[in-house]
Chains A and B, each alone.
Chain A
């Protein structure tokens, strides 16, 4: 039986940074000249994301998203779009892989500076039903880059 006080876990989940990205999402919108686009939703909870990328050669020049969903999915999408700008496709896929590792509870990934503000989402790993929320935009990204 878990008798630990719940509040510290909740405040680790809902950090100020997460709520800020939820309320003021960065790079929200659409691109006129997208080279890659993908729509993904979570049929269980209804979270949605439309992700657009503008890729030039191997470099991601621009990213936009439109999404509806919880604070975790929307903050994850917002932070992701910031991280992706001017990254190469292999770098972007490597970030997605590190994000996945952090959600699986990998502590080294949670300390990986390359994840930047994403590390604020490390607490999600302790809430198994919410991991899919955090990974939705990243799954959209890997789908987009594979098509």
Chain B
């Protein structure tokens, strides 16, 4: 396992006590804390390099442009993108998926076509497809999940029988921690003639990701879930698809020539980056990627899996706790309920011990309905968590049980 105590020393927020105790931050699937290296990169950018990119003829603007494009190359390398111009900076996963739906989807999905999603998709990989299908008169087909929280491959195959135009799924489920067999799903979807969209919000921070090995067509990621700044993220796509797609947002930067009544557009990826981009976000994300790279994504993945398994084992010792999702290979996300104690109440009680967990539907309401719960509590781990955090979590839960007078049935 990683030396989490040493890693925590790099994170100013984690050094700050919460309610008089050491902060135990277990909401990493929502967002992550930032190391000094990222904070410094953002500050250095504004102190030494800030100018608008792709515009100025002066040296400062050129340095800013170089920093921005170096960040793009960093993202491309990190996920083994097809090419740096296949990386479009966005505000995050949500905007990346909306870009695909609003551009590729509107141009290629028509009345009577179908689009496939799964019952474990985050609302950000569901609602954009609902909007598209409603607009086009297309059918949205939701693939069911199995009892243990995996994509039901029989139902997935059935959905592909309609030869959908597009198939979207998450690489890692934010609510269950399921690691989906992305290459296998992409291969099946391609064989059925579909374009494949992978929600990488929960995989990019936690696994070694290779989009060419997955062999998808679009891959969306968020910077803030991988130690980078909020409002940073990217759509990683096959360049030839981006070339053929109509623009998403209009404005400066995305154009080539502009006449009174029409325009020609810039080359990719700039065609999809209208307006002044979030350069600070890109630079911060690049610093986060460097930081993660120094520790190693494989080591981070092993560390989190060890924590998840330890947490599942420890929670199982508390009578009344139910853990959701697969028992075997999984990511560091542990969703659970505790008897009739509502997850919000658990979150409030744990907060008093400086333990931050998420309580709610995790932006997966269709999934919650299938689990037959209104909400779950969720602990999600990252490289700065350790077994001590698991112990604090368990101890605080026992306290919650006592406070509520939880009596095992």
Contacts and interface: CB of A to CB of B under 8 A. Distances in A.
Interface of A: 1-4, 6-7, 9-11, 13-14, 19, 23, 44-48, 68-72, 127, 129-130, 133
Nearest to B375: A46
B263 interface: no
Interface stretch (B144-152, B211-219, B313-321, B337-345): B337-345
A17 to B, nearest CB: 13
B142 interface: no
Given A45-B344, A70-B344, A10 B352 contact: yes
Nearest to B404: A19
A69 B19 contact: no
Nearest to B359: A45
A128 to B, nearest CB: 11
6 contacts: A6-B19, A44-B360, A46-B374, A69-B342, A70-B344, A72-B344
A19 B405 contact: yes
Nearest to A71: B345
B368 interface: yes
A74 B403 CA distance: 17
Given A14-B345, A14-B349, A127-B348, 5 more contacts: A11-B403, A14-B404, A69-B344, A70-B343, A71-B341
A50 B340 CA distance: 20
B353 interface: yes
A68 to B, nearest CB: 5
A11 B399 CA distance: 12
Interface in B345-396: 345, 348-349, 352-353, 359-361, 365, 368, 374-375
B296 interface: no
A46 B368 contact: yes
B19 A46 contact: no
Nearest to A68: B374
Given A3-B20, A133-B344, A46 B360 contact: yes
Classify chain B's interface size: 20 to 34
Contacts of A14: 345, 349, 403-404
Nearest 10 interchain pairs by C-beta: A6-B352, A70-B342, A70-B344, A3-B20, A68-B374, A46-B361, A45-B360, A46-B375, A46-B374, A71-B345
A45 B377 CA distance: 11
Contacts of B359: 45
Nearest to A124: B348
Contact of A13 (B20, B348, B360, B375): B348
B353 A6 contact: yes
B335 to A, nearest CB: 14
B56 interface: no
B396 to A, nearest CB: 10
A47 B344 CA distance: 10
A129 B143 CA distance: 35
Given A3-B20, A46-B368, A72 B345 contact: yes
A68 B353 CA distance: 26
A75 B263 CA distance: 60
Contact of A23 (B340, B344, B352, B365): B340
A130 B348 CA distance: 8
Given A10-B352, A45-B360, A69-B374, A130 B20 contact: no
A46 B319 CA distance: 25
Contacts of B405: 19
A77 B365 CA distance: 23
Contact of B349 (A10, A19, A45, A48): A10
B20 A1 contact: yes
B181 interface: no
Interface in B299-344: 340-344
